[in-house]
Structure 1
Amino acid sequence: MSELQTEQRSGAYQAHFRVWRGDADGGALRDFEVEVHEGEVVLDIIHRLQATQAPDLAVRWNCKAGKCGSCSAEINGRPRLMCMTRMSVFERAETITVTPMRTFPVLRDLVTDVSFNYTKAREVPAFMPPAELGPGEYRMKQEDVNRSQEFRKCIECFLCQNTCHVVRDHEENKGAFAGPRFLMRIAELDMHPLDAAPAGGVDRKRTAQDEHGLGYCNITKCCTEVCPENIKITDNALIPLKERAADRKYDPLVWLGNKIRRRTE
């Protein structure tokens, strides 16, 4: 059997990849011809590239099952998980460009410094349980669980953070803007019927607006479009949080009620 017949029978073919190589001081796209087999994903090809042509290529990955969020990159300009991007979605003659996430500083090759996200995570006050309830005494209705359960699917791949133009195109906003992943976290906690943050002196709606930059979000839904877990970040988290924050700040009845409560305290 000829080499061509073997290739046709196995479904293998040669793909043209352009992969960014470099570090914080600069770099460039490099061209590679890499063998592809039926059923493979982009991460498989990157691993084959490491094994056969570029052993020093840096790439972050862990589970290869779309659950750890480690292998985030930009594939043909779109933020994706490499392990969940099948080669079958591309034409065989298509050049596939793989670059690091643009919003975060490059460490080396496809690996970026995502510590910005951990800094923002630490700035969000954690869930505060009611003081009068002990372990095992928490009770919630299923309908309340359903409201925020969607947000717990987040694998923290940070693709939503990467694609949000508020920080992607404006580095100066990073200090004042938590990004969609952590505004979603604030929304989740604000929806939680057992969260006793107000009793602990934390107004999540106020902090979302004043400390985490909720007002910077202009609901373009780019974060929702790239979420590999199909979380409706904009519609189910950010817009409701914006509505509650606006009610708190601008609704005249809410304003009057706050004034009266402050007088009686």
Structure 2
Amino acid sequence: MSYQAHFKVWRGDAGGGALGDYEVTVNEGEVVLDVIHRLQATTAPDLAVRWNCKAGKCGSCSAEINGRPRLMCMTRMSVFDPAETVTVTPMRAFPVVRDLVTDVSYNYAKAREVAAFAPPPGLEPGEYRMRQQDVDRVQEFRKCIECFLCQDTCHVVRDHEENKGAFAGPRFLMRVAELDMHPLDAAAEAGVDRKAAARADHGLGYCNITKCCTEVCPEQIKITDNALIPLKERVADRAYDPLVWLGSRIRRRGAGHGA
């Protein structure tokens, strides 16, 4: 069954723009990206939109649909009433390039600031051994498709441009958490203190665990509960728990004495 839908799509560039009104055919089983493609093929051939796989795995077609950060390829038209106006706008947290395409280079800059996995010394890759529960624990975070919807919805980034220099955002704090809990990561031996970096370099303290990042994740990763909150707890233990502080001092003294 087909029907005519009313779409409002943001058109413009870095200099400004406005919502354009469109009447477009919607067919049964379609997603928002199908409709955007139909607009390109009919009334708006110059409409700029970023997409690739159309299967919810590349993260390219991120946008805001009726104000909510979503993947256009995973948002079915059946969730909207046929009489409802569907408004599609670019991700608000990032600068507009043109129409629905935004400049997400901020995220790649933050990715480069996270120290890479440090292989355990004395072991070749084929010799790594982990318990299955540790594999399962970090594998959840590896499901991330880097759609940056969590970055877009995080109010620390979205509403405060001035925070971007000091705050990595939930996607990359999740990466720090993943590496910090990885049993084979030898960052400490390589001189990298991931907990200290999370606090001082990646702005963990800016996060106030509202769970908005978890709510928009298309992979259903429990970003807040399984990554950010445990990382905050470990960082707080390191910084403020007197027993943890004393234990670290004793270990350092013992290591130095043994040398």
Class of the TM-score when normalised by the shorter of the 2 chains:
over 0.9
Partner of 1:175: 165
**CA distance, structure 2, for counterparts of residue 52 and residue 249 of structure 1:** 59
Could you list the runs of 5+ residues in structure 2 that have no partner in the other structure? none
1:254 Cα deviation after fit? 1.3
Tell me if 1:223 matches 2:213. yes
SS at structure 1 position matched to 2:73? helix
Which AA in structure 2 matches 1:107? V
SS at structure 1 position matched to 2:187? coil
1:253 Cα deviation after fit? 1.0
Tell me if 1:59 matches 2:46. no
Q: Which structure 2 residues correspond to residues 141-180 of structure 1 after superposition, within 5 A?
A: 141-180=131-170
**CA distance, structure 1, for counterparts of residue 195 and residue 145 of structure 2:** 24
**CA distance, structure 1, for counterparts of residue 41 and residue 223 of structure 2:** 38
Q: Which structure 2 residues correspond to residues 47-86 of structure 1 after superposition, within 5 A?
A: 47-86=37-76
* TM-score normalized by the length of structure 2: 0.97
Partner of 1:101: 91
**CA distance, structure 1, for counterparts of residue 77 and residue 184 of structure 2:** 45
**CA distance, structure 1, for counterparts of residue 213 and residue 16 of structure 2:** 27
Partner of 1:7: none
**CA distance, structure 1, for counterparts of residue 91 and residue 125 of structure 2:** 41
Runs of 4+ residues deviating >6 angstroms = none
SS at structure 2 position matched to 1:182? helix
SS at structure 2 position matched to 1:96? strand
Which AA in structure 1 matches 2:244? V
Partner of 1:184: 174
Partner of 2:103: 113
Partner of 1:248: 238
> What are the superposed Cα offsets for residues 182-239 of structure 1, whole Å, 9 maximum, x if unpaired?
0000111111100000101111111001110000000000000000000000000000
Which AA in structure 2 matches 1:236? N
**CA distance, structure 2, for counterparts of residue 260 and residue 148 of structure 1:** 30
Partner of 1:90: 80
1:146 Cα deviation after fit? 1.0
Which AA in structure 2 matches 1:96? V
**CA distance, structure 1, for counterparts of residue 138 and residue 144 of structure 2:** 11
SS at structure 2 position matched to 1:97? strand
1:140 Cα deviation after fit? 0.7
Could you list the runs of 5+ residues in structure 1 that have no partner in the other structure? 1-10
1:263 Cα deviation after fit? 4.0
**CA distance, structure 2, for counterparts of residue 115 and residue 261 of structure 1:** 41
Choose the corresponding residue for 1:30, options 20, 44, 49: 20
Partner of 1:236: 226
**CA distance, structure 1, for counterparts of residue 195 and residue 27 of structure 2:** 50
Partner of 1:3: none
Partner of 1:8: none
Which AA in structure 1 matches 2:117? F
Partner of 1:6: none
* TM-score normalized by the length of structure 1: 0.95
Choose the corresponding residue for 1:45, options 12, 19, 35: 35
> What are the superposed Cα offsets for residues 233-262 of structure 1, whole Å, 9 maximum, x if unpaired?
000000000000000110101111233344
The count of residues paired between Structure 1 and Structure 2 equals 255
Partner of 1:18: 8
Partner of 1:4: none
- Two-structure CA RMSD over aligned residues (Å): 0.8
> What are the superposed Cα offsets for residues 56-105 of structure 1, whole Å, 9 maximum, x if unpaired?
00000000000000000000000000000000000000000000000000
**CA distance, structure 1, for counterparts of residue 52 and residue 117 of structure 2:** 28
